[in-house]
Chain A
Amino acid sequence: DGGITQSPKYLFRKEGQNVTLSCEQNLNHDAMYWYRQDPGQGLRLIYYSQIVNDFQKGDIAEGYSVSREKKESFPLTVTSAQKNPTAFYLCASSTGQGTGELFFGEGSRLTVL
């Protein structure tokens, strides 16, 4: 079955540690996205990538980094510079930027202790 796989589903980290969230898709989609979801805030765009080896900052990129070395993969690193990293992180993909039709993974919940 085609889809998007995020891992881990739950992650705990200590303050000052970097953590990397995995996102893999087998939909052959060109565009991939990372969103952050906080209670009462909706979804906010962190980074997006339209093509391999290229990515752009979204609205809240500070304290995060990404890479897009393969079409299927778009990992997100939450660095120690992110001041409030505890959140639910959602990865998505689409056939191309601008369609608005995103396919989402099930999310990763990060808790900083």
Chain B
Amino acid sequence: GNSVTQMEGPVTLSEEAFLTINCTYTATGYPSLFWYVQYPGEGLQLLLKATKADDKGSNKGFEATYRKETTSFHLEKGSVQVSDSAVYFCALTRQGNLIFGKGTKLSVKP
């Protein structure tokens, strides 16, 4: 069945460092792929999405490219800020619902 595997955290970076959070998936068919972000004490928010192979989703300086050949959807940002500290979830659609990865906690230090 469809599933998502994310790199385990926590990830700790200094401000302005480059960020990569790995996400790979297993799926039948061609699911849509998503990154959601959860700030402390809040619900999740959609960060970006891609609906087909080679699509690049982007938002707030974050990017991720739907790679069918490597079944991956890695999240990247060129220069992180303290305000990016949060938990990031990779997700894909399965039978009309969303399946989430376990989440990766990012802490950015000034």
B contact face: mostly helix, strand, loop, or mixed? strand
Please state if B103 and A100 are interface contacts (CB–CB under 8 Å): no
Please state if A100 and B34 are interface contacts (CB–CB under 8 Å): yes
Binds B, one of A13-21, A42-50, A67-75, A79-87: A42-50
A105 at the interface (CB under 8 A from B): yes
Mark interface residues in B81-110 (1 if CB within 8 Å of A CB, else 0): 000000001011100111111110000000
In the assembly, what is the distance between CA of A90 and CA of B98, in Å? 13
A106 at the interface (CB under 8 A from B): yes
Interface residues on B, range: 20 to 34
| Total chain A interface residues with beta-carbon distance under 8 A | 23
Please state if B42 and A106 are interface contacts (CB–CB under 8 Å): yes
Please state if B41 and A106 are interface contacts (CB–CB under 8 Å): yes
Please state if B43 and A90 are interface contacts (CB–CB under 8 Å): yes
Please state if B43 and A100 are interface contacts (CB–CB under 8 Å): no
Please state if A42 and B45 are interface contacts (CB–CB under 8 Å): no
Please state if A42 and B89 are interface contacts (CB–CB under 8 Å): yes
Contact of A48 among B36, B92, B97, B100 (CB under 8 A): B97
Which residues of B lie under 8 Å from residue A35 when comparing CB positions?
A: 100
Contact of A104 among B43, B49, B101 (CB under 8 A): B43
Mark interface residues in B61-95 (1 if CB within 8 Å of A CB, else 0): 00000000000000000000000000001011100
In the assembly, what is the distance between CA of A99 and CA of B52, in Å? 13
CB within 8 Å of B: which of A1-48? Answer: 4, 6, 33, 35, 40-45, 48
In the assembly, what is the distance between CA of A98 and CA of B34, in Å? 12
B46 — nearest CB in chain A belongs to which residue?
A: A101
In the assembly, what is the distance between CA of A58 and CA of B98, in Å? 11
Given known pairs A97-B97, A100-B32, A100-B98, the reply for A105 and B43 (CB within 8 Å) is: yes
Give the Cβ gap from A86 to chain B, nearest Cβ, in Å: 17
A51 at the interface (CB under 8 A from B): no
Nearest first, the 7 closest Cβ-Cβ pairs linking A and B are A104-B43, A42-B102, A98-B96, A97-B96, A43-B100, A42-B100, A104-B44
